[in-house]
Amino acid sequence: MRCPKCGSRDDKVIDSRQSRDGSSIRRRRQCLKCKYRYTTYEETERSDLRVIKTNRTHEPFDRRKLAASIAKAFEKRSASLLTLEDMVDEIVHELETGGREVPSSVIGARVLEKLRGIDEVAYLRYASVYQRFQDVDQFVDAIHTLGRRIKSNALQRELFPPETMKENANVARRSREGAIKNHGRV
């Protein structure tokens, strides 16, 4: 392993731990030359998964390429690196259990599905590239689609619960009916 700071190949492993899902090993290393500490990850390489591109060519699946495209969508957003890694892990696991060859459109759709639930701005950024937005109208349409989605937050009570809305509508209707009967008399 080369030191990212000085490029030396001499290092020692300080700590090794298994990841939460057990799919990789995290190693803390220290360069013996400059004493810089850095982290590496070791995981099983799956070379059998292939991507079918839109032009019908095939290429090996590259996890780093997927992570980089998602990271680009999250650029300057408040999402943590852990959130990004978990998302990539989930997508890769779904793809690996799905078969040996995966169309790039399926990968893009899975990424959009995950992004939509995590960060709407990152979703729009990724969608603009994946769906090849040509003009502002396509952005506006995507924003309106996001706006129509019902957003529920379990920690926040609704400002106007459905029961209260029905009750208020009934009170308003009765007062209007009374005003009509009395012809404006008090």
Q: Tell me the pLDDT tens digit for each residue of 41-74.
A: 887 766 578 899 989 999 998 889 999 999 988 8
Confidence of residue 174 (pLDDT cuts 50, 70, 90): low
Greater model confidence, 22 or 163: 22
From edge to edge, which strands make up the β-sheet containing 11-18? Answer: 11-18, 24-31, 37-43
Confidence of residue 129 (pLDDT cuts 50, 70, 90): confident
- Considering the entire predicted model, what is its pTM? 0.54
CA-CA distance, 121 to 73, in Å (whole number)?
8
> What pLDDT is recorded for position 182?
56
SS3 content of the chain, % helix, strand, coil (to 5): 50, 15, 35
pLDDT (tens digit, 9 = 90+) per residue, 80-110?
788 888 898 889 888 888 778 899 889 988 9
